[in-house]
């Protein structure tokens, strides 16, 4: 597909637009909507086959986030070391968190009785965080959205029969009206996460959304905005800024046409995105820190999700993990911000992830499993000037095979080019120690 004129930009402008995102590496996703009330998955309307009338009758008047304080959200994100927040302005259920003119199905008409996006944006800015919106391409509420394989009423014959009266032209205009509001009324917006395309039989893709029109509008209203890859324009260079593996860790830096591309994995604490009270599959703080490190070690960003409760706060399971990550980041974020995959000449030691800061030329060895006294750095001889623990800046001694005193009681098994690092027997009191 040829690049349309409106999408043409210099590589310099693109690099400039993406600079903060490449540097920051760690953001917060927030999934919040009516589904926080039933508290059993953000797809509950679809899972339980509810019509939008039934769903609205149950939950719309119960949406009363009396403890909503976006300053607390921003503080929690900032404390965790996150640098940007992406909030679901509207998810698949079709409920808008802001005072949209395009729909009555919105927060101001619930007991919340106000635009919930405005104070969110203000709180983020005040905390120095970048602001992004998630915007669903699906809408199970809109009367013109053609019922398909993802729809809450996908198995309902009556609903399917209504498709002849549904007009996707109107739905496309509705999306443009809403995106215009979001990108006009809240100042500078740094990122837009469109979700998602599923082209094919009983699905929808770029023609159904008018993805090109949406993207054109997005870039016109916010020329420096960063846009994800879910508009089904994936075969083009201009149709997206970064790839978005969902709850998935690639085995290496993802490539498109043989070229490594910007990417961000979005991940959850427990599996679902919306607040799910009874889900018992929460990842540990240690796993989450390792996930962040692994992501950066492969050149990517981590967008880690919180599902706030119906009353508007982050529950203690979420807070606990955010605090744990923040504790680690407080002492170790130098191995995350501005970092990326290590140059290929540095091989990953056993049970470690590597990150690298190309500006300072510092290499970071994240030791996931504490070894007994010795860590071997394969082929690092001559490439290291000094080694220290990142968390306390204390020196770490190392030798190479030729300089190691091979007494009768030791058998040195390192290779010629390896470095042999002397670690303390007791693991330092930090979740995942980092050698700088
Ligand atoms: O917002 C969060 C999720 O609710 C949303 N994206 C994240 C960020 C999301 N959940 N699932 N998906 C996106 C992909 C869903 C795919 C499927 Fe299907 C829906 C598999 C089966 C039903 C669509 C229809 C694709 C295949 C058939």
Render pLDDT for 267-292 as a digit per residue (tens, 0 to 9): 999 999 999 999 999 999 999 999 99
Candidate of 35, 87, 195 to mutate for ligand 1, largest count of ligand atoms within 8 Å of Cβ: 195
Please determine, for residue 7, whether its predicted confidence score (pLDDT) is greater than 90.
Answer: yes
Sequence-distant (6+) residues with CB within 8 A of 381 are 400, 416, 417, 418, 419
Q: What is the predicted pLDDT for the residue at 408? A: 54
Residue 235 banded pLDDT, cuts 50, 70, 90: confident
Q: Which residues pair with 301 in a beta bridge?
A: 264
Candidate of 153, 230, 268, 273 to mutate for ligand 1, largest count of ligand atoms within 8 Å of Cβ: 273
The atom of ligand 1 lying closest to the CA of 193 is 8
Instruction: Give the residue, by CA position, lying nearest to ligand 1 atom 13.
Output: 196
Sequence-distant (6+) residues with CB within 8 A of 396 are 387, 388, 389, 421, 422, 423, 435
Please determine, for residue 187, whether its predicted confidence score (pLDDT) is greater than 60.
Answer: yes
Distance of CA 386 from the midpoint of ligand 1 (Å): 48
Q: Which residues pair with 128 in a beta bridge?
A: none
**Within 10 A of 241 (CB to CB), how many other CB atoms are there?**
19
Residue 114 banded pLDDT, cuts 50, 70, 90: very high
Please determine, for residue 413, whether its predicted confidence score (pLDDT) is greater than 80.
Answer: no
Would the CB of 196 count as within 6 Å of ligand 1?
A: yes
Over range 414-436, report the average pLDDT: 95
Instruction: Give the residue, by CA position, lying nearest to ligand 1 atom 19.
Output: 150
**Residue-wise over 272-305: b if at least 16 C-beta within 10 A, else e?**
bbbbbeebeebbebeebbbbbbbbbbbbbbbbbb
Query: Which tens digits make up the pLDDT trace of 133-165?
Result: 999 999 999 999 999 999 999 999 999 999 999
Please determine, for residue 320, whether its predicted confidence score (pLDDT) is greater than 90.
Answer: yes
Query: Which tens digits make up the pLDDT trace of 77-87?
Result: 999 999 999 99
Would the CB of 273 count as within 6 Å of ligand 1?
A: yes
Helix (H, G, I), strand (E, B) or coil at 357: strand
Instruction: Give the residue, by CA position, lying nearest to ligand 1 atom 25.
Output: 198
Which domains, from first to last, does the chain contain?
5-335 (3.20.20.80), 342-436 (2.60.40.1180)
Distance CA 176, CA 216 (A): 10
More confident residue, 412 or 179: 179
Q: What is the predicted pLDDT for the residue at 409? A: 60
To which H or E segment does residue 23 belong?
helix 11-24
Distance CA 22, CA 299 (A): 9
Q: Which two tokens stand for residue 139?
A: 């809408």
Over range 192-219, report the average pLDDT: 98
To which H or E segment does residue 434 belong?
strand 434-435
Residue 403 banded pLDDT, cuts 50, 70, 90: confident
DSSP β-ladder status, 264-267 and 301-306: parallel
The atom of ligand 1 lying closest to the CA of 29 is 8
Distance CA 313, CA 72 (A): 8
Q: What is the predicted pLDDT for the residue at 237? A: 85
For the packed helices 117-126 and 70-80, what is the interaxial angle rounded to 10 degrees? 40
Residue 410 banded pLDDT, cuts 50, 70, 90: low
Please determine, for residue 172, whether its predicted confidence score (pLDDT) is greater than 60.
Answer: yes
Instruction: Give the residue, by CA position, lying nearest to ligand 1 atom 20.
Output: 150
Output DSSP code: residue 204. Answer: B
Percentage above 90 pLDDT, the chain:
95
Q: What is the predicted pLDDT for the residue at 405? A: 60
| 97 and 91 Cβ atoms separated by less than 8 Å | no
Please determine, for residue 131, whether its predicted confidence score (pLDDT) is greater than 60.
Answer: yes
Distance of CA 304 from the midpoint of ligand 1 (Å): 17
Distance of CA 93 from the midpoint of ligand 1 (Å): 13
Distance of CA 397 from the midpoint of ligand 1 (Å): 50
Over range 210-226, report the average pLDDT: 98
Please determine, for residue 404, whether its predicted confidence score (pLDDT) is greater than 90.
Answer: no
Predicted ipTM beyond 0.90: yes
Over range 91-97, report the average pLDDT: 98
The atom of ligand 1 lying closest to the CA of 42 is 4
| 34 and 309 Cβ atoms separated by less than 8 Å | no
Helix (H, G, I), strand (E, B) or coil at 419: strand
Distance CA 290, CA 284 (A): 10
């Amino acid at each position: 597909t040829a690049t349309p004129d409106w999408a043409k930009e210099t590589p310099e402008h693109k690099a400039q637009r993406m600079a903060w995102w490449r540097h920051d590496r760690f953001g917060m996703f927030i999934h919040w909507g009516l589904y926080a009330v039933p508290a059993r998955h953000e797809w509950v309307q679809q899972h339980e086959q509810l019509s939008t009338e039934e769903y609205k009758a149950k939950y719309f008047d119960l949406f009363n986030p009396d403890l909503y304080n976006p300053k607390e959200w921003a503080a929690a994100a900032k404390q965790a070391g996150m640098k940007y927040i992406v909030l679901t302005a509207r998810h698949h259920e079709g409920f808008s968190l802001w005072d949209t003119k395009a729909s009555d199905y919105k927060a101001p008409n619930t007991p919340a009785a106000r635009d919930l996006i405005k104070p969110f944006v203000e709180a983020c800015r005040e905390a120095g965080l970048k602001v992004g919106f998630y915007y669903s391409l699906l809408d199970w509420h809109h009367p013109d959205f053609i019922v398909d394989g993802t729809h809450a009423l996908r198995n309902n014959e009556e609903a399917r029969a209504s498709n002849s009266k549904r007009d996707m032209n109107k739905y496309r205009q509705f999306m443009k009206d809403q995106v215009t509001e979001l990108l006009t009324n809240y100042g500078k917006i740094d990122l837009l996460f469109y979700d998602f395309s599923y082209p094919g039989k009983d699905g929808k893709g770029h023609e159904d959304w008018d993805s090109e029109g949406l993207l054109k509008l997005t870039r016109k209203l916010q020329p420096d905005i960063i846009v994800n890859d879910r508009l089904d324009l994936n075969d083009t260079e201009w149709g997206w800024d970064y790839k978005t593996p969902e709850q998935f860790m690639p085995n290496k830096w993802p490539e498109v046409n043989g070229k490594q591309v910007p990417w961000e994995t979005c991940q959850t604490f427990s599996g679902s995105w919306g607040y799910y009270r009874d889900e018992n599959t929460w990842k540990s703080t240690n796993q989450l820190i390792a996930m962040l490190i692994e992501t950066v070690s492969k050149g990517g960003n981590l967008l880690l999700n919180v599902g706030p409760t119906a009353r508007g706060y982050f529950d203690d399971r979420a807070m606990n993990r955010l605090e744990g990550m923040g504790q680690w980041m407080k002492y170790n974020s130098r191995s995350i911000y501005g970092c990326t995959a290590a140059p290929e000449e540095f091989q990953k030691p056993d049970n470690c992830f590597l990150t690298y800061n190309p500006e300072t030329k510092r290499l970071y060895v994240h030791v996931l499993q504490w070894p007994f006294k010795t860590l071997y750095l394969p082929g690092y001889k001559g490439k290291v000037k000094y080694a220290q623990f990142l968390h306390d800046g204390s020196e770490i001694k190392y030798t190479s095979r030729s300089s190691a005193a091979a007494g009768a009681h030791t058998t040195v098994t390192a290779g010629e080019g390896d470095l042999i690092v002397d670690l303390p027997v007791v693991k330092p009191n930090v979740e995942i120690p980092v050698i700088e």
